[in-house]
Amino acid sequence: MKHKRLEMLFGEKEHGDLKSKKILLLGVGGVGSFCLDCLYRSGIEDITIIDFDVYDESNQNRQMWSELHLGESKVDALKSHYPNVIAINKKIDKEWVDSFDFEPYDLVLDAIDDIHAKIALVHKTYEKLIASMGSAKRLDPTKMDFVSIWKTSGDKFASKMRYELRKSGFKGDFNVLFTTEEPNCKEKGSFVAVTGAFGLGMCAKAIQRLNK
C-alpha cells in the first residue's frame, strides 16, 4: 500500500515498470542525497550510490541524515536508511570513470563536482545521463531549469563544461539541471532550498525519462 498514491499518479503498470529500473547515482551530498530519497520513496530500489566522503559539521545545512552520522562514510550511512541500495565507497575521478562498466544501468545521475570526472562521464554515458551543474551560492530554486548542456546560460560551471566538452571533441547532447541565478557570494555558501531542489528535480526528470 505504500506506493498506492504513486500508482494512482503513474498508473499501476507504469509504476511496476519503474520499480524494475536500475539507477546509478554518483555523489550523495547536497544534491545527490535528496535525489536518492526521492528515488527510493518513488519505489525505485535498484540504486547504486557511489561517493568517498564522510559527514562533517559543514554538511548539516544541506545533506540528508548528516546530523546523525558525523564522521561516518556517506554511502554506508545512507545504506542504513535505504537498505536496498548498493553502496560503493569510492572516489569518482577520471580514472575511475574510464574503468567503470556503466552498461548495466538504465540511467546515470551525475551529482558530482569534479569537472574532469564529469567530462569523462559525458563521453562514456551521455545517452543515458542526467547531470547537475552548480547549485551552490544561490538562493532561489525557481531559477532552476532543465535544458541541453549547449543551451545553458549564466552558469560559470556549465560554461566551463561546454568549453571542456568542445575541447575534448564531444559533439553529442544531454540535458542538465542548472540555474540562471547569479551567485550571491564568492565562497561556497549553500542553501538547502536550492541544493535540495536540484536533487528533487533530478529525481523527477529521471522518473519522467524512465516512464517514456
Please check whether residue 149 lies inside any domain of the structure. Answer: no
Query: What sections of 20-66 are H helices per DSSP?
Result: 32-41
Whether the pLDDT of residue 2 is over 90: the answer is no
pLDDT at 1: 66
User: Is residue 164 in a domain?
Assistant: no
Tally of domains within the chain? 1
Average pLDDT of the residues of the chain: 93
Per the confidence metrics, is the pTM higher than 0.75? yes
| 172, three cell numbers | 553529442
Residue 121 falls inside a structural domain: yes
82 and 47 in contact (C-beta within 8 Å)? yes
pLDDT confidence of residue 52: 96
Is 39 within 8 Å of 47 (Cβ atoms)? yes
Residue 81 within any structural domain of the chain: yes
Asked if 26 and 110 count as a contact pair (C-beta separation under 8 A), the reply is: yes
Identify the domain containing residue 192 by its residue range.
4-127+186-210
DSSP string over 51-120 = E--B--GGGTTTSTTGGG-TTSBHHHHHHHHSTTSEEEE----HHHHHH---TT-SEEEE----HHHHHH
Measure the CA–CA gap between 63 and 53, rounded to whole angstroms.
Answer: 12
Does a structural domain hold residue 30?
yes
> How does pLDDT run across 69-84, given as a tens digit for each residue?
999 999 999 999 999 9
pLDDT band at 116 (very low <50, low <70, confident <90, very high): very high
pLDDT number for residue 32: 97
Q: Could you tell me if residue 132 is inside a domain? A: no
Residue 86: inside a domain, yes or no?
A: yes
Whether residue 108 is contained in a domain is answered as yes
Q: pLDDT value at position 59? A: 84
CATH code of the domain in which 62 resides: 3.40.50.720
